[in-house]
A and B are shown apart, each in its own frame.
Chain A
Amino acid sequence: MNPGVRVKTFKIDGLDVAGREDQTVLDVATEHGIPIPTMCHLEGLTSVGACRLCLVEVVGRSRLLPACVTPVEEGMAVVTNSERLQNYRRMLLEMLFVEGNHICAVCVSNGHCELQGLAQTLGVTHVHFPYHYPDRPVDASHSRFVVDHDRCVMCTRCVRVCNEVEGAHTWDVMGNGANVRVVTDLNEAWGRSETCTGCGKCVHVCPTGALFEKGHSVAEMLKKRQFLPYLTAMRRRQ
């Protein structure tokens, strides 16, 4: 804990809670077992507030705020699960499904997928938006890993873990709008990347089956995320 950091007391869903001022609403909610759905957020990486699933209401504010980047404030009253928020979250999740090509039945991550899990938790059984059916490539040029852009939800966890934890910055983002895509190096084939260390962190932080290890068939790709909090905790101690 940094010296001079003050503690703030406030309410989440009517529950009195306390958090350090360098904590976010999401941190404190998680500590108190209050579930807020997230997708782009991952403990140990910088939060970017991109997926918008963790939006919460703060009484007295007209805007919805992403819990993952909103610092706690004294006396604030947070609502995490109103009807309106649930509705928005379901629509956002539907959007993630329609913009890619998510065919769970043939996916390596079937049963271990965060997108699939969120759909189950939030009760998204059907989508009411038309599918985009985009034409997206698969890059299997790496000797051990594959990236299937059909299943990418642009959470940019791979980009952040590669830059912030591994320090290689092999992954980055290219294009804009619906054409936005993660790329290795300057849009080179992954297998030809000179910066990739082959550490596999990107694969294990990926929430879906977009990044996976070769040699896994349907539903066989289990992601190990335990290393990340461990790594960051160890680094903080040094």
Chain B
Amino acid sequence: MNPEELLQKNVSHQLTAEAHGHDVRVCMGAGCMSLHSDQIKSALTAQVKQHGRDKSCHVKGVGCMGLCAAGPLVSVEPQGVLYKEVTEEDAGEIIDSLNKAPVARLICPTDTPFFQNQMKIVLENCGKIDPERIEEYVNADGYIALIKALTEMTPNDVITQVMRSGLRGRGGGGYPTGLKWTTVAKADGTQKYVICNGDEGDPGAFMDRGVMEGDPHRLIEAMAIAGYAVGADTGYIFVRGEYSMSVKRLRKAIMQAERQALLGKNIFNTPFSFQIEVRIGAGAFVSGEETALIACIEGRRGVPSPRPPYPAERGLWGCPTLINNVETLANIPSIIRNGADWFSNIGTRTGKGTVVFAMTGRVQNTGLIEVPMGTPLREVIFDIGGGVPDGGTFKAVQMGGPSGGCIPEQYLDMPIDFDSLLEIGAIMGSGGMLVIDDSASMVDMAKFFMEFCRIESCGKCVPCRVGTVQMHELLIRFSEGTATERDLVLLEELCDLVRHTSLCGLGQSAPNPVLSTLRYFRHEYMAQIRPDFGANGVDTHESRSTS
């Protein structure tokens, strides 16, 4: 019996016992949960019992289904019916209609671009499987990639596959993942570590959360594969403290994987051993920066340190450490399973695969989406996103959170990829996508992100600690219409200083929202300058001598 069969036999027999006629899936993603989808699930379960359908119908909670705007969502398989805005009261009607025509008033059409134009790799299981059951993940070809890697491939083969796939880091920088893996694999040291960065802190970003809550086993499998490839025997998942559900589901998944001997000593009777521990962040945005994150795991204060040395050389407890973002790792099982060529055929020349966006703001279909790299922004926002609601006019889209920038209408037809975004002053970032309509002020937008950076600055280096306060105070003046022309000069001066002298990525990128709005919406800043103050800059805070 080969390992695949063994795995199937071990875990899947329990599923066959539940071969139900109907599968009722209730979205238990954060968005739907906030609308009490857990109560809907209980109501549905109660109705199933009441209707005496225990044997032929199974109600289960699943990860994020994507269309958060229409939540709470419930889907019925195998019919493929999706219900939107479900309430507890609808439970009876839904169960009642299982063998009949679906409940028409609740149907959410799935032939729309939102569902048709997406391509799911990272989110392939999200909204389909119960994240709290390893059996369902295995049934969806889960852990096949790990077995394949451990039994048929050498660590070098695994790295070659990742290298050839063209996968680039989804945490913001877009660093080639294969190159990072090779560096760690070749680094000198007997003890190495793998870290999964789940400290997703950008305002409006919830991609990693979707994966951790909706498909936690995927991460565990990916980390084990990464551990095998680089020669690490221990992995840490660093999750931000606010994501309590992610922590709970990841811990449960780790426990289940250990019980099935998919983690622990001698996985699949190979010499490879791997264990994973969840570490919880204390809520600081900056702890997502890799050196700060390592400090957190070591139990120190989460502040960044100068690089080099890079973690790949000297990371956790001074050992070579591989740090990958959640979304990056979530691509790994699919790449190993389907091959590097399959992956590298998706996307553009420089950006392979798909990209997950958390679409929020003034857009019809807010939610979690995944599209191939190179999809034009217009398609994402207007076809998949359904455009700006209530007859509003599109103004800009903010990408990359506090480190990113605003993209105006004129660049909407540009294909999304790491390099194209960088060129126009935005970044791919972690994938937050905030749509802005003409009712919003871009100055306020910049002010919001600067306030965020001001609060989240760790205070270690001078330019970020003081510069963000200075810039925020200036932006308040612009927002209130009391700015002077000298303030604009000062603002640009500060942007340049903070960008070039800050210690870590947070500080270096903090001016980005200001710089990009100044680049495309300078007239909005000019409109906020008080006309009675002339160019000679006579204003309220003239120079004072140092005492």
Contacts and interface: CB of A to CB of B under 8 A. Distances in A.
A92 B462 contact: yes
Given A66-B306, A132-B469, A92 B463 contact: yes
Contacts of A124: 546
Contact of A119 (B305, B457, B463, B546): B546
A178 B470 contact: no
A125 B544 CA distance: 9
Contacts of A132: 466, 469
User: Which residue among A95, A119, A176 has the maximum number of chain B CB atoms within 10 Å of its CB?
Assistant: A176
Interface stretch (B57-65, B243-251, B495-503): B495-503
A177 B470 contact: no
A90 to B, nearest CB: 10
B546 A177 contact: no
Interface in B459-503: 459-463, 465-470, 473, 490, 493, 497, 500-503
A223 B149 CA distance: 62
Contact of B467 (A48, A95, A180): A95
Interface string A146-162: 00000000100000000
A2 interface: no
B182 to A, nearest CB: 22
Contacts of A36: none
Nearest to A179: B459
Contacts of A179: 459
B2 interface: no
B466 A178 contact: yes
A154 B547 contact: no
User: Which residue among A48, A105, A126, A129 has the maximum number of chain B CB atoms within 10 Å of its CB?
Assistant: A129
Contact of A105 (B455, B463, B547): B547
Contact of B469 (A66, A91, A99, A126): A99
A219 interface: no
A78 interface: no
B545 A52 contact: no
Contact of A48 (B305, B457, B502, B544): B305
Contacts of A66: 306, 503
A140 interface: no
Contact of A103 (B500, B544, B547): B547
Interface string B258-272: 000000000000000
Contact of B470 (A63, A129, A175): A129
Contacts of B502: 52
A176 B457 contact: yes
Contacts of B463: 52, 92, 95
Contacts of A177: 454-459, 465, 468-469
Interface in A149-196: 154, 172-173, 175-180
Interface residues of B, number: 37
B13 interface: no
Interface in A106-136: 119, 124-132
A154 to B, nearest CB: 7
Given A88-B497, A95-B470, A176-B458, A128 B545 contact: no
Contact of B301 (A129, A130, A173): A173
A45 interface: no
Contacts of B460: 48, 50, 154, 180
A64 B461 CA distance: 14
A125 B306 CA distance: 31
B306 A51 contact: no
Given A49-B306, A99-B465, A130-B473, A104 B547 contact: yes
A28 interface: no
A138 to B, nearest CB: 18
B465 A51 contact: no
B476 to A, nearest CB: 12
A183 to B, nearest CB: 11
A125 B465 contact: no
Contacts of A98: 466, 470
A130 B539 CA distance: 11
Nearest to A91: B497
Interface in A16-61: 48-53, 55
B116 interface: no
Contacts of A173: 301, 303, 459
B547 A49 contact: no
Contacts of B308: 71
A52 B470 contact: no
Contacts of B467: 95
A154 B465 contact: yes
A212 interface: no
A131 B541 CA distance: 9
Nearest to A95: B466
Contact of B461 (A50, A104, A178): A50
B543 interface: yes
A105 B455 CA distance: 32
B284 interface: yes
Contacts of A102: 546-547
B547 A99 contact: no
A176 B459 contact: yes
A154 B459 contact: yes
A74 to B, nearest CB: 15
Interface string B302-313: 010110100000
B459 A180 contact: yes
B458 A180 contact: yes
Interface string B326-347: 0000000000000000000000
B265 to A, nearest CB: 37
A178 B465 contact: yes
A129 B491 CA distance: 10
Contacts of B469: 99, 132, 177-178
A98 to B, nearest CB: 7
A175 B503 contact: no
A178 B547 CA distance: 22
B493 A127 contact: no
Rank and list the top 5 A-B pairs by shortest CB-CB distance, nearest first. A180-B459, A95-B466, A49-B306, A177-B457, A130-B541
Interface of A: 48-53, 55, 63-64, 66, 69, 71, 88, 91-92, 95-99, 102-105, 119, 124-132, 154, 172-173, 175-180
11 contacts: A55-B501, A88-B497, A92-B462, A98-B466, A104-B546, A130-B473, A132-B469, A177-B454, A177-B456, A177-B468, A178-B459
Given A49-B503, A52-B462, A52-B502, 7 more contacts: A88-B501, A96-B466, A98-B466, A99-B466, A129-B466, A154-B462, A177-B469
